[in-house]
């Protein structure tokens, strides 16, 4: 029987961030157990990996800003000279149908927390991003209702936002965790959680091994409910594994660069460049596209034709030079949606030694570096460079659900 100080269940972006931060704080023997053959097999591998900071709650804005600083300085954060993941600092444009006052309020929320943001009018958007239509008129995706474009009043620009490489970042954190002494076991599925009374004492793996540990972290992503059941932990939150789709379209030279990350409430999509600008990746910002609850072991991993058809119309509206030729492909991955307030649930539970990092609701990639440091600081008491000052209790298991502007990925 093996012994460890802590077992982290799940080697996605969250589990690897926690494992790395525990190991770098010298917390004894840290073991990450991942049932997949490598990193990126869960939500993380399908992630659009957008790293932006506009949230309803100032604390989440600040945590996202600190996560962004980690991704923007990834070599220093991970201690890897040539990391696999690179930050693409393309900026993010929020085309939310804002009036000037609303856009200024959103800008001030970011600036108050130490971020950079500016309000642009239609001419300002056109100067920075000539490929984008600046129309603010709501759009009928079926094309049946005639549409006359009218320019937007105000958009919000986050110049420091961008995106990274999700599986590369996950691999980097695994490498950094190993370098700091953590053990990372792939093809290692937890089948049972051992307990004595109300205290966890270890995990049983599917291959017959047992690892004894007084502290176990559930970083199981969309499988988190099963793990909480194994530990007998009732969090009192509803977390649903939810199928979410993304499409890809080639970007021919007719569509001029630069293209930022765009959130487009007029048509309900988001998009960003992909594959060194050769493609456009697009998805939905609508709550109705985050409602398909599934079994995380059995769901359709390709995108639906109906989803791609409607979203491509929206993309053509926003990028009018995008030609109608070219292959359209798509995938589906999983969000773990915390139905109460779409924010993560972090920290100790009522079961002694059982900690959770669950319910990321579509925000887990950008928050992961700070989730790792928050959890590790709470466990070890050690503070490190890059740590966020947002208290873990803000996301605590026993909190009252937070009030947010929208109960979807924009939260
Ligand atoms: C289409 C899509 C787009 C997204 N876009 C963004 C975005 O732009 N920005 C952003 O911030 N976030 C985004 N997200 C969300 C983000 O990707 C997730 O919040 C994040 O990846 C969650 O990481 P995780 O480590 O919790 O989960 P996962 O990556 O799913 O990792 C959990 C791991 O636990 C393992 N596991 C489960 N059960 C067991 C067991 N019994 N034993 C051992 N291992 C086990 C699984 O195999 C899995 O690898 C997106 C997600 C999707 C699907």
Residue 249 sits in a domain of what CATH number? 3.30.9.10
Residue at 407 is within a domain: no
Question: Do both 327 and 179 map to the same domain?
Answer: no
Please work out whether the CB of residue 94 comes within 6 Å of at least one atom of ligand 1. no
123 C-alpha to center of ligand 1: Å? 39
To the nearest whole number, what is the mean pLDDT of the chain? 96
The domain in which residue 345 lies consists of 2-84+165-238+340-395
| Lowest-confidence segment of 3-7, 61-65, 144-148, 300-304 by average pLDDT | 144-148
Give the closest residue to 43 by CA, choosing from 316, 308, 365, 304: 365
For the chain, what is the domain count? 2
Report the nearest atom of ligand 1 relative to the CA of 188.
43
Task: List the residue whose alpha carbon is closest to atom 26 of ligand 1.
Answer: 221
Closest Cα to atom 33, ligand 1: which residue? Answer: 10
Round to whole Å and give the CA distance between 100 and 85.
36
The answer to whether residue 270 sits within a structural domain is: yes
How far apart are the C-alpha atoms of 357 and 351, rounded to whole Å? 14
In a shared domain, residues 289 and 233: no
Q: What is the pLDDT of residue 140?
A: 74
Clarify whether residues 27 and 69 are in a common domain.
yes
Residue 143 pLDDT: 67
Q: What is the Å distance from ligand 1's center to 101 Cα?
A: 36
pLDDT of 372 reads 98
Residues 183 and 320 in one domain: no
Residues 391 and 246 placed together within one structural domain of the fold: no
Q: Do 153 and 216 have their domain in common?
A: no
Query: Does ligand 1 lie within 6 Å of residue 222's CB atom?
Result: yes
Per-residue pLDDT tens digits for 81-133 = 999 999 999 999 999 999 999 999 999 999 999 999 999 999 999 999 999 99
What is the CA(222)–ligand 1 centre distance, in A?
7
Instruction: Compute CA distances 46 → 90, 102, 118, 333, whole Å.
Output: 20, 32, 30, 5
246 lines ligand 1 (CB under 6 A): yes
Q: What angle do CA 23, 50, 21 make, to 5 degrees?
A: 5
List alpha helices for 138-272, DSSP H. 166-179, 224-231
Section 383-405 average pLDDT: 96
Residue where the block lists tokens 């890809």: 248
Reported as a single tens digit per residue, the pLDDT across 144-169 is 777 889 999 999 999 999 999 999 99
Q: Are residues 257 and 330 in the same domain?
A: yes
Q: Residue of the nearest CA to atom 2 in ligand 1? A: 47
pLDDT attached to residue 2: 94
Q: Give the span between the Cα atoms of 76 and 58, in whole angstroms.
A: 26
CATH of residue 356? 3.50.50.60
Among 243, 364, 370, which is best to mutate for testing ligand 1, by the most ligand atoms less than 8 A from CB? 364
Q: Does residue 377 sit in the same domain as residue 278? A: no
Q: How many angstroms from the chain centroid is the CA of residue 367? A: 7
Cα of 43 from ligand 1 centre, angstroms: 3
Q: Is 402 within the bounds of a domain?
A: no
Q: Which of 11, 42, 272 is the pocket-test mutation for ligand 1 (most atoms within 8 Å of CB)?
A: 42
**For the chain, percent of residues with pLDDT exceeding 90:** 90
Q: Does the residue 153 lie in any domain?
A: yes
> Is the residue at 400 inside a domain?
no
Residues 221 and 73 in one domain: yes
| 391 assigned to some structural domain | yes
**Measured from the CB, is residue 365 less than 6 Å from ligand 1?**
yes
**221 Cβ below 6 A of ligand 1:** yes
**In a domain? residue 411:** no
- Interval 240-250 mean pLDDT: 97
Q: Give the residue from 316, 337, 358 where a domain finishes.
A: 337
Q: Are residues 331 and 345 in the same domain?
A: no
Confidence of residue 6 (pLDDT cuts 50, 70, 90): very high
376 lines ligand 1 (CB under 6 A): no
* In a shared domain, residues 143 and 181: no
Domain membership of residue 132 (yes or no) is: yes
Same domain, 293 and 176: no
Which pLDDT score, from 0 to 100, does residue 325 have?
82
Res 409 pLDDT > 70: no
Instruction: Answer whether residue 410 shows pLDDT above 90.
Output: no
């Amino acid at each position: 029987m093996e012994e460890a100080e802590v077992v982290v269940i799940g080697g996605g972006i969250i589990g690897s961030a926690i494992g790395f931060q525990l190991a770098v704080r010298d917390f004894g023997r840290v073991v990450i157990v991942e049932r997949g053959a490598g990193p990126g097999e869960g939500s993380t591998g399908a992630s659009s990996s957008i790293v932006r900071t506009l949230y309803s709650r100032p604390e989440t804005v600040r945590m996202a800003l600190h996560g962004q600083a980690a991704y923007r300085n990834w070599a220093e954060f991970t201690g890897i000279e040539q990391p696999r993941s690179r930050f693409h600092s393309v900026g993010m444009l929020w085309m939310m149908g804002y009036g000037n006052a609303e856009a200024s309020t959103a800008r001030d929320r970011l600036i108050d927390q130490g971020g950079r943001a500016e309000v642009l009018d239609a001419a300002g958007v056109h100067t920075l991003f000539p490929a984008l239509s600046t129309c603010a008129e709501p759009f009928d995706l079926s094309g049946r209702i005639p549409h006359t474009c009218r320019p937007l009043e105000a958009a919000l620009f986050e110049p420091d936002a961008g995106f990274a490489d999700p599986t590369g970042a996950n691999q980097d954190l695994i490498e950094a965790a190993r370098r700091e002494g953590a053990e990372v076991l792939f093809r290692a599925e937890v089948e049972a959680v051992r307990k004595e009374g109300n205290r966890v004492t270890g995990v049983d793996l599917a291959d017959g091994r047992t690892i004894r540990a007084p502290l176990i972290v559930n970083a199981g992503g969309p499988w988190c409910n099963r793990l909480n059941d194994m530990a007998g932990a009732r969090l009192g939150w509803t977390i649903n594994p939810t199928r979410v789709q993304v499409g890809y379209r080639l970007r021919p030279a007719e569509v001029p660069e630069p293209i930022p990350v765009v959130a487009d409430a007029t048509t309900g999509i988001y998009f960003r460049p992909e594959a060194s600008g050769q493609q456009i990746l697009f998805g939905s910002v609508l709550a109705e596209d985050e409602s398909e609850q599934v079994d995380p072991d059995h769901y359709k991993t390709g995108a639906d034709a109906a989803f791609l058809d409607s979203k491509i119309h929206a993309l053509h509206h926003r990028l009018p030079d995008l030609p109608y030729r070219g292959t359209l492909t798509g995938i589906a991955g999983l969000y773990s949606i915390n139905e109460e307030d779409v924010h993560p649930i972090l920290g100790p539970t009522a079961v002694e030694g059982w900690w959770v990092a669950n319910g990321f609701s579509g925000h887990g990639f950008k928050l992961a570096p700070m989730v790792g440091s928050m959890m590790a600081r709470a466990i070890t008491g050690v503070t490190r460079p890059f740590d966020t000052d947002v208290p873990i209790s803000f996301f605590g298991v026993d909190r009252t659900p937070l009030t947010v502007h929208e109960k979807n990925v924009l939260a």
